[in-house]
Structure 1
């Protein structure tokens, strides 16, 4: 016969004190273990990078299929064979794809900077000439999106990130009235850090909604489009198609890369957008570059062959990292289920697990973990300005450590979550 653990908040003062003593002893034993574990960033593990070691011996030549010498200048929009692969993966036309360097984050920064300095194709003036520029940021979200905006002086307005995408009712109300809101972020498939997937219905609403700003943009960061953790391979909503049908073809800017597909520091990135946006981007880029590293483009084309080659490669990734996500779930559910002190996601793709703990204790959990030798992403990192108003959100990144380290780290994190909760309840 099994029993359901009592919610800690329902225990008597004496029972809470006794439980606190027990968990404190467990924590002291954890600290004595001498752990040195890092779950701070969503980086590929060494075994994942090994899957792409074949790239190191490529390309075997230096000409594309048309015979162009790729060692030379030119080809600002990238190797067409690589653009075809991204077009297939993203569900867009080849003509609407540009391939660049190794980082999609760099392309995002280029686009934002160009909007500030020059404005977009449908901007009344450069964004920098507006009194204020704001972006909508679904939360919890991706910290690098937020720090980029902060660095550029763009104000951030938070809306909730739901299981089917951003709270579209909240977004619609904001953009309809405020012309200073020029854009929004979204990671549409396996969002960072919740793993949420933006539904087609929500995507359609976002593309069709009326906005006070005529040049409103949705930065559609499809970083995890093919990063599945189960055999069910979720397909991203067709942002470009939905936008075109709604009469706002320039609204979405789709970003993607192979950073967590091939070699994280030596991959390739892509931008997909309307024809007008692509022409605008290339015109701006032409002042900064005479062409990308087309040999690296060719290297990836030779390695993957086509989009199905990428998909097959990602199934190998799944075999390596799915057990790590299972270990996170096992540790959290094994210790915390029924205690009423934590909720967490069980994502079907992406790179993160979202953990919400007792309000006011996330910072304490992370501090306790650090003292025990377990490094976690800073509290509040998934919110603009690093400010989680409830101090309850923690992003877990289990891909980089080996499986045994994930198991040890998560067992320790679960102890820290309970200890922080007990401290909070007994001090109230």
Structure 2
């Protein structure tokens, strides 16, 4: 069933009822926020033991080095070995840094722009143009980086198994295409996990640019909402087998696992790529916050400790995701005005509404005291040509506020789509 299947009387009754619900919503003077995928205070409390770690007199890592001092640009073995085991990669291919993997991504592109990569014929700043593949909908902060450097961002549609690989394989025949953004597991904002065939093709495909790089932002590799972990492919080994050892810049972090503003970020890649990176990073700084790295190693203990902590997060997040999806089904399912993802992990739900209506939904929600991520934010330059997509982030508010906000969002979606149907009927 959809709006177009309703009789005129049924449509008029729905329109009147929805407008009345919206006026009642506005009268509540709400102040609710579903904009960013931040951990809730409850989730942050799970790791409060960090604030007293590594502990008085406990300042040495497993090699005996004093973590309070300068040095060790690649990070301490304690946390690198733990994280490498969690990701299924070799510790020697992993660097532990400071809190933000986004900072490392920015640095990687900065270094390539100024000096070129270890496989570049020239610095990217000296190219006539640099093109970058952007699967959409995708992560707005990714797009902001490549926009900041003036790259031409080329949109690639997402499928249920990841980016449209027919499109990708055609686009990389252009030598000006230097890279691609990816969030391969429980992606932002769709929650999609790349299928094995997509991963294999990304590792194996031939590219015209010898310095083509895939930023493999595996931010949600272990962020399941269930008891099951997803397969996490070792793309470094896969790419090496296909003769493209330097293809992946692999990112990860503890940012939504421990304390979001003071975690540990990780960069994994081939040894050649790591040596290239450290040749620049060693000039930029002397070393990361190793006390914080040791505190994290002490808090987590081992991979089992990490997964035990993630189950606490799942216990906090899953009811909120269930609430969002349940309300969307109950309020919108029968009218055919919206589609949404139902992820098994990550931090986001992607909502698609009737073409041309997403901005109106955002405006209606804002006027009713519900702040949503701006329509189009998940597209390069913030432009969604069909004006359909809205990213929902239910993690931060308490569960009762998530329910209230989503019931309001459903009302806004219905009203926006009713208005669009009325306009089209004129």
TM-score class normalised by the smaller sequence: over 0.9
Q: Distance in 2 between matches of 1:336 and 1:312?
A: 36
Give CA-to-partner distance per residue, 1:364-391, whole Å, 9 cap, x none: 0011111111000000000001000100
Q: Distance in 1 between matches of 2:80 and 2:4?
A: 55
Is 1:31 aligned to residue 26 of structure 2? Answer: yes
Deviation at 1:16, TM superposition (A): 2.1
Alignment equivalent of 2:324, drawn from 321, 328, 331: 328
Deviation at 1:18, TM superposition (A): 2.7
Give CA-to-partner distance per residue, 1:232-254, whole Å, 9 cap, x none: 21122221111011100000110
Give CA-to-partner distance per residue, 1:170-190, whole Å, 9 cap, x none: 0000001x1110000100000
Q: Distance in 2 between matches of 1:22 and 1:190?
A: 37
Q: Distance in 1 between matches of 2:231 and 2:250?
A: 14
CA RMSD of aligned residues (A): 0.9
Contact kept? 1:16, 1:426, Cα under 8 Å? no
| Residue range with higher mean Cα deviation, 13-22 or 250-259 | 13-22
Contact kept? 1:200, 1:238, Cα under 8 Å? no
Q: Which runs of 5+ in 2 are unaligned?
A: none
Q: Distance in 1 between matches of 2:292 and 2:368?
A: 42
Alignment equivalent of 2:376, drawn from 371, 380, 384: 380
For 2:67, the equivalent position in structure 1 comes to 70
Contact kept? 2:320, 2:395, Cα under 8 Å? yes
Match runs of 1:73-92 below 5 Å: 73-92=70-89
Q: Distance in 2 between matches of 1:366 and 1:423?
A: 14
Match runs of 1:342-381 below 5 Å: 342-381=338-377
For 1:139, the equivalent position in structure 2 comes to 136
For 2:415, the equivalent position in structure 1 comes to 419
Is 1:153 aligned to residue 150 of structure 2? Answer: yes
Match runs of 1:216-227 below 5 Å: 216-227=212-223
Deviation at 1:11, TM superposition (A): 2.1
Give the total of aligned pairs.
422
For 2:235, the equivalent position in structure 1 comes to 239
Deviation at 1:363, TM superposition (A): 0.4
For 1:119, the equivalent position in structure 2 comes to 116
Is 1:20 aligned to residue 9 of structure 2? Answer: no
Match runs of 1:193-232 below 5 Å: 193-232=189-228
Give CA-to-partner distance per residue, 1:373-417, whole Å, 9 cap, x none: 100000000000100010000100000000000000000101111
Q: Distance in 1 between matches of 2:104 and 2:231?
A: 23
Deviation at 1:289, TM superposition (A): 0.8
Deviation at 1:14, TM superposition (A): 4.0
Q: Distance in 2 between matches of 1:110 and 1:196?
A: 27
Q: Which runs of 5+ in 1 are unaligned?
A: 1-5
Deviation at 1:9, TM superposition (A): 1.7
For 1:40, the equivalent position in structure 2 comes to 35
Q: Distance in 1 between matches of 2:117 and 2:307?
A: 34
Alignment equivalent of 2:175, drawn from 179, 188, 199: 179
For 1:55, the equivalent position in structure 2 comes to 50
Alignment equivalent of 1:283, drawn from 279, 282, 292: 279
Q: Distance in 2 between matches of 1:7 and 1:249?
A: 50
Alignment equivalent of 1:292, drawn from 279, 282, 288: 288
For 1:11, the equivalent position in structure 2 comes to 6
The alignment's TM-score, normalised by the length of structure 1, stands at 0.97
Q: Distance in 1 between matches of 2:198 and 2:415?
A: 39
SS in 2 for 1:98: strand
Q: Distance in 2 between matches of 1:189 and 1:67?
A: 36
Deviation at 1:161, TM superposition (A): 1.2
Give CA-to-partner distance per residue, 1:142-171, whole Å, 9 cap, x none: 000001111111110000111111111100
Give CA-to-partner distance per residue, 1:342-378, whole Å, 9 cap, x none: 0011100000001000000000001111111100000
Deviation at 1:330, TM superposition (A): 1.0
Q: Distance in 1 between matches of 2:79 and 2:337?
A: 47
Deviation at 1:10, TM superposition (A): 1.9
The alignment's TM-score, normalised by the length of structure 2, stands at 0.98
SS in 2 for 1:184: strand
Q: Distance in 1 between matches of 2:123 and 2:303?
A: 37
For 2:248, the equivalent position in structure 1 comes to 252
